């Protein structure tokens, strides 16, 4: 595969997981905590309290992590999964109050071949 097609802003993906989970009971809090823990173990980073994101080198890799999130869904609550290209993610505008803040770092690509 041509390297220019292999790693470009339209092929590289970001997977965002949004969730609103119940925390009224001890059991609910435990399930919400376990869901977050599994996201982190799978390489997701917290973007905001209920939004986690993961950089993926390809659509196929994003599919793997999307399936993994689906397999760990808690029994209650709302979860959304959004996949966008690196190009789309690069257009994000972030603010802390009225001051524009820096975008998250894009992980370095490691190629072993």
pLDDT, position 99: 85
Which range, of 41-45, 65-69, 99-103, 108-112, averages the lowest pLDDT?
108-112
Residue 109 within any structural domain of the chain: no
Domain count, the chain: 1
Predicted local distance difference test score (pLDDT) of residue 68: 97
Domain extent, residue 23, equals 3-100
User: Does some domain include residue 83?
Assistant: yes
Which tens digits make up the pLDDT trace of 92-104? 898 988 888 877 7
pLDDT in tens, 55-81: 999 999 999 999 999 999 999 999 999
Residue 89 resides in a domain: yes
Residue 112 located in a structural domain: no
Q: Alpha carbon 78 to chain centroid distance?
A: 16
> Residue 25 sits in a domain of what CATH number?
3.30.70.240
Classify residue 110: in a domain, yes or no.
no
Distances (CA, A) of 20 to 7, 17, 45, 68: 33, 10, 17, 18
């Amino acid at each position: 595969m041509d390297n220019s097609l292999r790693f470009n802003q339209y092929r590289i993906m970001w997977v965002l997981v949004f969730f609103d989970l119940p925390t009224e009971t001890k059991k609910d809090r435990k399930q919400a905590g376990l869901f977050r823990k599994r996201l982190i173990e799978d390489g997701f980073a917290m973007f905001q309290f209920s939004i986690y994101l993961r950089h993926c080198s390809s659509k196929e890799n994003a599919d793997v992590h999307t399936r993994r999130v689906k397999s760990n869904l808690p029994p209650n609550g709302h979860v959304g999964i959004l996949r966008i290209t690196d190009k789309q993610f690069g257009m994000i505008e972030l603010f802390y109050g009225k001051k524009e803040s820096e975008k998250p770092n894009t992980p370095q690509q490691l190629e072993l071949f």
